[in-house]
């Protein structure tokens, strides 16, 4: 059938298989800006969804778009959010309270939009209805001068969300409780100046009391962590340092095994240090494992995805191609080029769904050396 002729790869020598790189029809970006810690792609069991920021040169607006496909080959593109002022998707977190479910399954993912003219961070939830993403009410966080990297996380499918974001001085953790829309706001940490990097907030302990792991890169270039406890969103005011990162905006990514109540409670982290090594750590029992160096130098844009039975997938760019390191549940396998027959054109800004969804791991990235950048997609079988 045509699918086999148009990019399906097969399993050979233990390698993963799936759909080879496909250009997403009608999906371009006005710039290569993206964050590896944002899950801009997911699979709901029937369709693939990709979120990206487009650009309209006639109006100078930056609408947020999404593309949907049931096979990864043919894509339909629609406007997710558009307004008469420039804006960007400052944060995106895909949640799956009901894996593989559709139509009324609850919040499939959340997207945070920053309005540049009002300097207020707004949050808007979406649900899946067929092949359409239907928007809920837009809610302001009340925080002035928000910076890129806002992440919104749904807590185990409940109508309660944690908003983790920053302004030019502080980190904030806010709890949004539905249907009574109220915020509990706290100052997380002062960086004493303009911040860089971004945030990631992941479910850690899924049984009551719930816990979330907060990761953030400070203005000093260092990676920090903290535990957010529910239901009061309490946390230590002093974040703990993990490592000094590189100068890039996309130099760390973590994925949680805890997606549903009862799931294993581990978080896997990859990051690129200022010395150039791509490293791995595991968070378990409220502490981090030792540092494992995966790549000595030359790696960029790392993302990590959790498969079943302890399998891990680390994707990154090196030597102008996308590389893959797989942990098979026992040991790390040798580095390999992902789809070596693909003619890569400056791949950058990788993002994944970070967890296997109905057996699939999704990967999306940009290619090109000038605006508008192309959006590319592939999927692997776990």
DSSP calls for 186-202: EEEEE-SS---S-EEEE
Which of these, 26, 55, 57, 24, lies nearest to 41 by C-alpha position?
24
Distance of CA 271 to the CA centre of its chain: 14
Q: Coil, helix or strand for 314?
A: strand
pLDDT confidence bin for 230, thresholds 50/70/90: low
Output DSSP code: residue 75: -
In this model, does residue 4 exceed pLDDT 50?
Answer: no
Element (H, E) at 2: helix 2-5
Fold of 2-381: Neuraminidase (2.120.10)
**Residue 37 CA from chain centroid, whole number:** 4
pLDDT averaged over the chain?
Answer: 75
Q: Can you give the length of the chain in residues? A: 382
User: Per-residue confidence at 128, pLDDT binned at 50, 70, 90?
Assistant: confident
Say how far apart CA 8 and CA 19 lie, in whole Å. 5
DSSP assignment of 196-244 equals -S-EEEEEEE-SSSPEEEEEEE-TTSEEEEEEEETTTTB--SSPEEEEE
Beta bridge partners of 152: 163
What confidence tier does 138 reach under pLDDT thresholds 50, 70, 90? Answer: low
Number of H helices and E strands in the chain, helices first, is 1, 31
Residue 185: which pLDDT band, with cuts at 50, 70 and 90? very low
Q: Domain map of the chain by residue range? A: 2-381
Question: Residue 5's pLDDT is what?
Answer: 34
Kindly tell me the sign of the dihedral angle through the C-alpha atoms of 1, 307, 379, 40: positive
CB-based burial of residue 124 (10 Å sphere; 0-12 exposed, 13-18 middle, 19+ buried)? middle
pTM: 0.86
CA–CA gap between residue 20 and residue 46 (Å, rounded): 18
Which of 47, 216, 63 lies closest to 133, judged by CA? 47
């Amino acid at each position: 059938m045509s699918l086999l002729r148009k990019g399906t790869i097969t399993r050979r020598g233990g390698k993963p298989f799936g759909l080879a790189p496909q250009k997403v029809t009608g999906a371009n970006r006005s710039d290569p800006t993206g964050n590896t810690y944002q899950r801009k792609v997911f699979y709901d069991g029937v369709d693939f969804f990709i979120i990206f920021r487009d650009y309209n040169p006639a109006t100078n607006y930056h609408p947020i778009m999404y593309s949907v496909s049931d096979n990864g080959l043919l894509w339909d593109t629609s406007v997710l959010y558009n307004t008469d002022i420039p804006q960007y998707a400052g944060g995106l977190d895909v949640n799956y309270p009901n894996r593989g479910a559709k139509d009324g399954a609850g919040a499939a993912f959340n997207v945070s939009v920053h309005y540049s003219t009002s300097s207020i961070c707004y949050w808007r939830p979406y649900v899946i209805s067929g092949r359409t993403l239907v928007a809920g009410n837009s809610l302001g966080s009340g925080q002035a001068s928000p910076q890129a990297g806002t992440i919104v996380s749904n807590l185990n499918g409940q109508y309660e969300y944690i908003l983790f974001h920053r302004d030019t001085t502080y980190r904030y953790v806010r709890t949004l409780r539905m249907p009574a829309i109220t915020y509990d706001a706290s100052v997380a940490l002062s960086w004493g100046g303009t911040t860089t990097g971004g945030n990631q907030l992941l479910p850690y302990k899924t049984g009551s009391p719930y816990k979330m792991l907060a990761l953030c890169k400070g203005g000093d270039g260092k990676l920090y962590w903290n535990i957010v406890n529910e239901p009061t969103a309490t946390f230590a005011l002093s974040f703990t340092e993990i490592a000094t990162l590189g100068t890039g905006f996309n130099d760390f990514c973590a994925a949680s095994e805890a997606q549903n109540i009862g799931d294993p409670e581990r978080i896997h982290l990859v990051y690129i240090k200022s010395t150039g090594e791509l490293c791995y750590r595991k968070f378990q029992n409220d502490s981090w494992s030792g540092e494992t160096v995966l790549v000595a130098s030359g790696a960029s844009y790392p993302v990590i995805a959790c498969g079943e039975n302890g399998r891990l997938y680390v994707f990154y760019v090196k030597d102008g191609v996308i590389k893959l390191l797989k942990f098979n549940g026992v040991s790390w396998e040798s580095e390999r080029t992902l789809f070596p027959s693909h003619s890569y054109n400056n791949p950058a800004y990788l993002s994944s769904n970070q967890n296997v969804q109905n057996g699939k791991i999704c990967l999306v990235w940009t290619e090109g050396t000038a605006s508008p950048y192309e959006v590319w997609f592939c999927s692997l079988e776990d």
